[in-house]
């Protein structure tokens, strides 16, 4: 730290700016300049009309040469406005730009006070603080950090796919990680999309296969990120590759193994179809899955048994007819185990999506108790031509079609007892499902809503169309769904009890099928993911953007972006727009090639650190590490964002923050109080 | 004190929320008491309790700490760290005889220029009502009881023994082998 | 050639520091061999007049322990300052006020009232209080004046070096003597102990996890301390991270948390504020109620964080106490 320059006697030049009359109108600038001129270390003190103008800046440069200044203080506007300008002027004058300090006598003084004498006194006090402070300033350097041009996209729903494709199309490398065996996310499960009613698969699956085949995208399905180290431009990410017991290189996607399985009929709940369909132990989630590679589920495959610690281990007890069917492709590999792969990337986009509200948390709606209460996502599969019933809407008995359906909105949304927020998509998808159910079954459809929210292009028109189709809308929060009949017509039906707030009466509406429009909520492991990527969550648990309006896809960690419903409930158009925004941020970062860092980072005095570790848990960026070899803590400067929390907390005063050293602040305190 | 006493308020504001809010108050031309002197830090988490004590000891009548609202900290959770320190510091200052109203923590977001005005005015009024803390003066007063020490010693010495060697100038580089 | 003269003196303190000199054991012989002890009231008989009779700076070094509370202590401190080339604040009380400085939470009136009127173990029906002088059968004894404020040595006279500790350890004392006698001296004003916090030499250091988040604070009598685990990891307030090392981690080795007697490092102005900052920042709770619930385990922050350092802290003394004239 001991650079020659820093040991020089301070020779401070002070300038007070009139800012036209903005400052001079309320502060006697000449008096401030005179007062500061009497302070120790100050070799010249001037007032000038516009310091930020070119002549003002040149004045500083000339004086540095003429008076041998080695420190400069300017009292003018807010440093948030012109600190950069004056640092530049100081640098042009041949000094390190950090031998500068700025005093805010406009926003914090002349503009907010009405007594000229008081305002002048205040300006003197603030200037005196800066004079005391700047004497302790040190020469600092802004660091440039190169950016690794590869990007990691986590989660391959529509948000992740769109982000990855956009970046890849710009010619940059992308690693796309998805924890399920196929990409596609929730959108792949949808039948049609509102309000246009175009088929979800028709618009999504071409994008999925394009992403899978893109020369700039490396797709890692059935994989999870387990560790993230590093900092903007230079992240080291560990990815867990879960065993699918299939050699991904060898499998050609012929799916001959599936019918060859010793289980002649599918008998295990099929996750992709929300458990409404069945699959075999060897399966592909759905026909257009990407990658087109099967997976074997060790929990049900006969060739596995329960090991000592509950894990599944190979038993080799099965006839392995699948292996036979695979033949010389030899793609089935029961010996596969979890593998960990480390990759290096410069930027990360987190697009981990949402989960739907667990309807059993609202027991009064009967989900899980009454067979014919469904979640909306189940209905998506049920009306889907490639779904478990081939698009034939039948109830859980497998044969009867519903003649009447009640769709309950806001299940797990807009409810202080569950989730307080509006999930934004339920009104629209409920109406879409109402339309589809009516189209498939011609049933009477009742929507139970609190408010119908249609804030999107063509959405309100879609609502109008539904009303014309004769779908019933009943305004009121449903009290309960029950099978307890009070009249003969209610026998064998599910009765929806609701206060119809428009009619002003409590109604009982018997239906055959109930659909719960479950809301969107953060993924179960959102908190773990948040910590993994050093992000924050809002109080509801969705990832927090840096600024809700001006930085909606940035996070507080540089180089880490968010897109899609992991940031908050949103529909497909908004998700895609946000995914594009995230891609643009990534491209802006990697195209520049480097980042410059404000040198207000903290560092630990190695000889003085006792290794007490008190600072380590305080850093939200895990920039403080414990070196087992030296038995001391150290700060990874590239990760440090310069908040100074560790500095304020170090019990032995062994952490220093550049630009905000203890001594600098103590001098400032003394300065603001010295002048009476 | 030559002039009429006016409360002196030192404020530590975080760069991202409260300092920006004070800038906004300026841009909006809101008017508030001129007694406050703002010291900018990057985060309220940087505010070392030593700074607060030092400000009081150097003559502040009150200290105001401004940070981002919970969940809004630019550095994720620096404001919680300050809140935790503040809770105990407040109690400790009371044990040291400093009135609770003299040190205040406020969450002021970048959008709340008016809250800066309101809080500064409230605090200035509260300090005006409390009167000066005046610690530099109190320290001086405390130490007046030892002021005449040197003279007393000399007196005693002269009375007790006349053979004391005359005082030499202090030798700073003595070192025995 | 005469040997360098050394003085030991005792002001407001318990005598533990003197004990350390004795604890040098046979090493004391080495010291005694090289120096002449000219004043050591606790062990040898000298008269103050002998000191007064000396030339200025005739004493090579004085090790003065104890805080300064009375006028007599002030006078002795000033006298010894004049007669010594090096005046060394020896021990926590001389350096920072020590335990006696906890009295800076009370006014002189409160203290005298308690000690001469309210103390339950007292038998003083006339409520007699000490007076500065009285006439007693033709004699006129004088008592020193009891000051309003407990002071560190350097708040009364100029101090050259500090040897910290309650009490300082024999090793540090020996090292200080060696430095003094060899002339190999640190810059004036230095504390002669490593400028690094205690954890550096604490045997429990490795057991401190990197993710401490306090949910409660326990005082040593409230729990059976694990003999190996870092006290902070057990939720016990340990001043170690905010306290200079050099004691050989004596307390933590004896299964007691550090209470801070070596004072802060050179980079810290206020030891109590710093440990407060560190402990509080690492509390787990984020809401005021939760935070205060955790902090309920520190019922007396001043007594806990400034056990030895109140007189030397930034505020020095409870600020709203009045100053009273001495009772004459």
Is the pLDDT at B173 greater than 60? The verdict is: no
Nearest CA in chain B to C156: B146
The string of pLDDT tens digits covering residues A111-137 is: 999 999 999 999 999 999 999 999 999
pTM over 0.95: no
- Give the separation between CA C261 and CA A564, rounded to whole angstroms: 56
Is the pLDDT at C105 greater than 60? The verdict is: yes
A649 to chain B, any CB pair closer than 8 A? The answer is: yes
Is the pLDDT at C252 greater than 50? The verdict is: yes
- Give the separation between CA C8 and CA A458, rounded to whole angstroms: 93
Nearest by CB: B150 against C78, C291, C323? C78
Handedness of CA C76, C79, C82, C86 (dihedral sign): negative
Q: Which chains touch C (3 or more CB pairs under 8 A)?
A: A, B
Is the pLDDT at A595 greater than 80? The verdict is: yes
Any idea where the domains of chain B sit in the sequence?
9-133
- Give the separation between CA A178 and CA A225, rounded to whole angstroms: 9
| Contacts (Cβ under 8 Å, ≥6 apart) of C70 | C12, C144, C145, C146, C147
Three-state SS for B164?
coil
Domains, chain A, with CATH or none: 4-140 (3.40.50), 151-241+344-353+523-594 (3.50.50.60), 257-337 (no CATH), 355-521 (3.50.50.60), 599-657 (3.30.70.20)
Cβ under 8 Å to B: A residues 609-628: 618, 620-621
The string of pLDDT tens digits covering residues C107-155 is: 999 999 999 999 999 999 998 888 888 888 888 888 899 999 999 999 9
A650/C210 touch (CB, cutoff 8 Å), yes or no: no
Q: Are strands C68-70 and C146-151 parallel, antiparallel or unpaired?
A: antiparallel
Three-state SS for A25?
coil
Identify from B62, B96, B130, B131 which residue to disrupt to test chain C contact, counting C C-beta atoms within 10 A and taking the largest count.
B96
Tokens of A464: 């109008």
Q: Which chains touch A (3 or more CB pairs under 8 A)?
A: B, C
Tokens of A550: 């001006």
Nearest by CB: C301 against B88, B145, B172? B88
Which range in A139-148, B105-114, C134-143, C300-309 is most confidently predicted, on average pLDDT? Answer: C300-309
- B67 chain-C contacts, CB cut-off 8 A: none
Identify from A665, A667, A671 which residue to disrupt to test chain B contact, counting B C-beta atoms within 10 A and taking the largest count.
A665
Confidence of residue B150 (pLDDT cuts 50, 70, 90): low
Contact B157, B164 (CB under 8 A): yes
The string of pLDDT tens digits covering residues A143-156 is: 888 999 999 999 99
Place of tokens 């400067």: A637
Average pLDDT over residues C291-299: 97
- B139 chain-C contacts, CB cut-off 8 A: 316
The string of pLDDT tens digits covering residues C185-196 is: 999 999 999 999
A649/C196 touch (CB, cutoff 8 Å), yes or no: no
Percentage of the residues of chain A whose pLDDT score is greater than 90: 88
Nearest by CB: B26 against A112, A114, A647? A112
The string of pLDDT tens digits covering residues B76-99 is: 889 999 999 999 999 999 999 999
Average pLDDT, chain A: 94
What's the pLDDT at A239?
Answer: 98
What's the pLDDT at B176?
Answer: 32
Instruction: Establish how many alpha carbons lie within 13 A of residue A338's alpha carbon, considering only the half-sphere containing its beta carbon.
Output: 12
Which range in A554-558, C121-125, C255-259 is most confidently predicted, on average pLDDT? Answer: C255-259
Nearest CA in chain B to C293: B87
Instruction: Find the range with the poorest average confidence among A213-227, A248-262, B153-167.
Output: B153-167
Tokens of A14: 């002070």
Instruction: Find the range with the poorest average confidence among A290-294, B41-45, B157-161, C256-260.
Output: B157-161
Instruction: Find the range with the poorest average confidence among A442-451, A563-572, A652-661, C42-51.
Output: C42-51
- Give the separation between CA C310 and CA C98, rounded to whole angstroms: 7
Is the pLDDT at B38 greater than 70? The verdict is: yes
B164 to chain A, any CB pair closer than 8 A? The answer is: no
Confidence of residue B1 (pLDDT cuts 50, 70, 90): very low
- Give the separation between CA A637 and CA C207, rounded to whole angstroms: 26
Burial class (CB within 10 angstroms; exposed 0-12, middle 13-18, buried 19+) of C258: buried
Average pLDDT over residues C256-267: 97
- Give the separation between CA B20 and CA B13, rounded to whole angstroms: 9
Contact C210, C190 (CB under 8 A): no
Confidence of residue B168 (pLDDT cuts 50, 70, 90): very low
Confidence of residue C326 (pLDDT cuts 50, 70, 90): low
What's the pLDDT at B172?
Answer: 33
What's the pLDDT at B156?
Answer: 66
Domains, chain C, with CATH or none: 5-99+147-182 (3.40.50.700), 198-305 (no CATH)
As for the ipTM of the complex, it is 0.95
| Residue C167 per-residue DSSP state | S
Average pLDDT over residues B117-130: 97
The string of pLDDT tens digits covering residues C40-75 is: 998 888 888 889 999 999 999 999 999 999 999 999
Three-state SS for C118?
helix
Average pLDDT, chain C: 93
Interface size between A and C, measured as CB pairs under 8 A: 82
Identify from C193, C194, C197 which residue to disrupt to test chain A contact, counting A C-beta atoms within 10 A and taking the largest count.
C197
| Contacts (Cβ under 8 Å, ≥6 apart) of A344 | A148, A150, A234, A235, A236, A237
Confidence of residue C327 (pLDDT cuts 50, 70, 90): very low
Is the pLDDT at C204 greater than 50? The verdict is: yes
C241/A610 touch (CB, cutoff 8 Å), yes or no: yes
Distance from CA of B158 to the nearest CA of A (A): 41
What's the pLDDT at A532?
Answer: 87
Instruction: Find the range with the poorest average confidence among A31-35, A316-320, C59-63.
Output: A316-320
Identify from B50, B72, B135, B155 which residue to disrupt to test chain C contact, counting C C-beta atoms within 10 A and taking the largest count.
B50
| Contacts (Cβ under 8 Å, ≥6 apart) of A390 | none
Handedness of CA A284, A285, A288, A290 (dihedral sign): negative
The string of pLDDT tens digits covering residues A461-507 is: 999 999 999 999 999 999 999 999 999 999 999 999 999 999 999 99
Nearest CA in chain B to C58: B165
How far lies B158's CA from each of B151, B152, B155, B169, C48, in Å?
Answer: 11, 10, 5, 19, 14
What's the pLDDT at B158?
Answer: 66
- Between A616 and B168, the more confident residue is A616
Nearest CA in chain B to A112: B31
- Give the separation between CA C315 and CA A301, rounded to whole angstroms: 73
Three-state SS for A384?
coil
Nearest CA in chain C to A618: C282
CATH code for the part of the protein at B9-133: 3.40.50
Is the pLDDT at C292 greater than 90? The verdict is: yes
Tokens of B134: 């005046």
Task: Identify which of B28, B32, B59, B82 has the alpha carbon closest to the alpha carbon of residue B135.
Answer: B59
Average pLDDT over residues A505-514: 97
- Between C305 and B144, the more confident residue is C305
Confidence of residue A49 (pLDDT cuts 50, 70, 90): very high
What's the pLDDT at A620?
Answer: 87
């Amino acid at each position: 730290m001991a650079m020659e320059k820093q040991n020089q006697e301070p020779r401070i030049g002070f300038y007070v700016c009139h800012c036209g009359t903005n400052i001079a109108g309320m502060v006697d600038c000449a008096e401030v300049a005179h007062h500061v001129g009497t302070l120790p270390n100050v070799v010249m003190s001037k007032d000038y009309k516009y310091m930020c103008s070119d002549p003002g800046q040149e004045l500083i440069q000339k004086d540095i040469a003429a008076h041998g200044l080695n420190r400069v203080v300017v009292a003018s506007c807010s440093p948030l406005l012109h600190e950069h300008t004056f640092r530049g002027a100081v640098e042009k004058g041949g000094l390190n730009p950090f031998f500068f300090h700025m005093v805010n006598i406009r926003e914090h003084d002349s503009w907010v006070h009405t007594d000229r004498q008081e305002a002048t006194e205040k300006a003197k006090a603030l200037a005196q603080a800066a004079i005391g402070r700047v004497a302790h300033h040190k020469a600092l350097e802004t660091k440039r950090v190169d950016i690794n041009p590869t990007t990691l996209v986590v989660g391959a729903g529509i948000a992740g796919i769109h982000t990855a494709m956009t970046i890849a199309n710009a010619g940059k490398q992308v690693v796309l990680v998805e924890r399920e065996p196929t990409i596609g996310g929730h959108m792949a499960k949808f039948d049609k999309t509102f309000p246009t009613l175009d088929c979800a698969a028709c618009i999504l699956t071409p994008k999925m296969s394009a992403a899978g085949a893109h020369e700039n995208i490396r797709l890692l399905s059935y994989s999870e990120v387990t560790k993230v180290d590093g900092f903007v431009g230079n992240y080291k990410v560990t990815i867990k590759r879960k065993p699918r017991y299939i050699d991904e290189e060898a499998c050609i996607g012929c799916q001959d193994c599936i019918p060859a399985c010793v289980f002649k009929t599918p008998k295990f709940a099929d996750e992709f179809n929300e458990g409404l369909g069945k699959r075999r132990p060897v399966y592909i989630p759905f026909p257009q899955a990407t990658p087109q590679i099967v997976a074997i589920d060790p929990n049900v495959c006969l060739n596995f048994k329960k090991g000592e610690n509950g894990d599944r281990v190979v038993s080799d007890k099965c006839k392995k007819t699948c292996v036979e069917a695979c033949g010389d492709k030899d793609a089935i590999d029961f010996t596969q185990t979890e593998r960990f792969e480390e990759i290096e990337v410069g930027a990360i986009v987190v697009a981990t999506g949402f989960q739907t509200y667990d309807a059993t948390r609202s027991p009064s709606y009967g989900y899980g108790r009454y067979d014919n209460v469904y979640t909306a996502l189940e209905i998506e599969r049920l009306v889907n031509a490639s779904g478990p019933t081939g698009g034939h809407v039948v109830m859980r008995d497998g044969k009867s079609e519903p003649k009447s359906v009640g769709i309950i909105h806001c299940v797990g949304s807009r409810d202080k007892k569950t989730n307080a927020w509006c999930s934004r998509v339920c009104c629209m998808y409920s109406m879409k499902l109402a339309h589809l159910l009516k189209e498939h079954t011609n049933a009477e459809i009742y929507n139970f809503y609190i408010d119908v929210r249609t804030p999107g292009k063509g959405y309100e028109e879609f609502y109008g169309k539904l009303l014309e189709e004769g779908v019933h809308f009943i305004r009121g929060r449903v009290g309960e769904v029950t099978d307890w009949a009070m009249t003969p017509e209610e026998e064998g039906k599910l009765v929806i009890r609701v206060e119809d707030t428009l009619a002003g009466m409590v109604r009982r509406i018997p239906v055959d099928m109930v659909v719960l429009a479950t809301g969107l909520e953060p993924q179960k492991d959102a908190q773990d993911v948040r910590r993994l990527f050093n992000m924050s969550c809002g109080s509801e648990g969705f990832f927090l953007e840096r600024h809700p309006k001006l930085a909606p896809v940035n996070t507080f960690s540089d180089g880490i972006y968010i897109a899609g419903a992991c940031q908050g409930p949103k529909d497909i158009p908004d998700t895609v727009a946000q995914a594009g925004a995230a891609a643009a941020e990534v491209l802006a970062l990697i195209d520049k090639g480097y980042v410059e860092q404000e040198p207000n980072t903290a560092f630990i005095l190695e000889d003085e650190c006792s290794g007490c570790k008190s600072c380590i848990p305080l850093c939200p960026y895990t920039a403080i590490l414990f070196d087992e070899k030296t038995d001391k803590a150290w700060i990874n400067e590239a990760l440090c964002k310069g908040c100074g929390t560790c500095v304020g907390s170090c019990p032995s005063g062994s952490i220093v923050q550049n630009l905000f050293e203890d001594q600098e602040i103590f001098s400032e305190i003394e300065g603001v109080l010295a002048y009476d | 004190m030559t002039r009429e006493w006016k409360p002196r308020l030192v404020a530590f504001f975080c760069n991202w929320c409260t300092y920006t809010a004070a800038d906004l108050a300026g841009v909006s031309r809101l008017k508030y008491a001129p007694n406050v002197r703002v010291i900018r830090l990057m985060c309220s988490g940087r505010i070392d309790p030593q700074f607060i004590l030092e400000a009081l000891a150097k003559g502040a009548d009150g200290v105001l700490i401004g940070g981002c609202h919970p969940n809004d900290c630019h550095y994720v959770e620096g404001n919680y760290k300050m809140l935790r320190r503040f809770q105990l510091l407040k109690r400790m200052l009371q044990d040291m005889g400093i009135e609770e109203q003299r040190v205040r923590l406020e969450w002021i977001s970048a959008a709340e220029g008016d809250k800066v005005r309101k809080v500064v005015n409230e605090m200035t009024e509260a300090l005006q009502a409390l009167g000066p803390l005046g610690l530099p003066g109190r320290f001086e007063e405390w130490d007046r009881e030892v002021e005449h020490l040197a003279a007393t010693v000399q007196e005693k010495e002269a009375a007790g023994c006349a053979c004391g060697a005359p005082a030499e100038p202090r030798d700073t580089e003595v070192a025995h082998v | 050639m005469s040997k360098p003269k050394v003085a030991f003196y005792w002001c407001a303190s318990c005598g533990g520091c003197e004990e350390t000199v004795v604890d040098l054991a046979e090493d004391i012989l080495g010291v005694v061999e090289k120096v002449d002890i000219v004043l050591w009231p606790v062990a040898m008989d000298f008269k103050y007049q002998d000191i007064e009779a000396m030339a200025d700076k005739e004493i090579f070094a004085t090790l003065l322990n104890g805080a300064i509370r009375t006028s007599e202590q002030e006078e002795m401190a000033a006298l010894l300052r004049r007669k010594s080339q090096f005046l060394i604040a020896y021990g926590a009380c001389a350096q920072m006020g020590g335990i006696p400085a906890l009295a800076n939470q009370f006014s002189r009136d409160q203290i005298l009232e308690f000690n001469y009127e309210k103390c339950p173990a007292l038998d003083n029906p006339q409520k007699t209080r000490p007076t500065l002088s009285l006439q007693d059968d033709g004699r006129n004894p004088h008592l020193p004046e009891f000051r309003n404020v407990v002071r560190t040595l350097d708040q009364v006279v100029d101090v050259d070096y500090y040897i910290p500790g309650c009490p300082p350890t024999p090793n540090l004392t020996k090292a200080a003597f060696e430095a003094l006698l060899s002339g190999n001296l640190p810059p004036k004003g230095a504390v002669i102990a490593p400028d690094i916090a205690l954890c550096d030499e604490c045997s429990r250091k490795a057991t401190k996890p990197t993710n401490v988040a306090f949910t409660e604070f326990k005082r040593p009598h409230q729990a059976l301390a694990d003999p190996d685990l870092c006290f902070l990891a057990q939720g016990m307030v340990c001043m170690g991270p905010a306290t200079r090392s050099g004691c050989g981690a004596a307390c933590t080795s004896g299964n007691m948390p550090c209470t801070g007697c070596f004072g802060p490092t050179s980079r810290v102005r206020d030891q109590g504020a710093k440990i407060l900052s560190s402990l509080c920042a690492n509390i787990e709770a984020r809401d005021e109620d939760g935070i205060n619930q955790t902090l309920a385990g520190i019922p007396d922050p001043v007594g806990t964080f400034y056990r030895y350092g109140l007189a030397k802290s930034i505020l020095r003394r409870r600020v709203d106490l009045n100053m009273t004239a001495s009772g004459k």
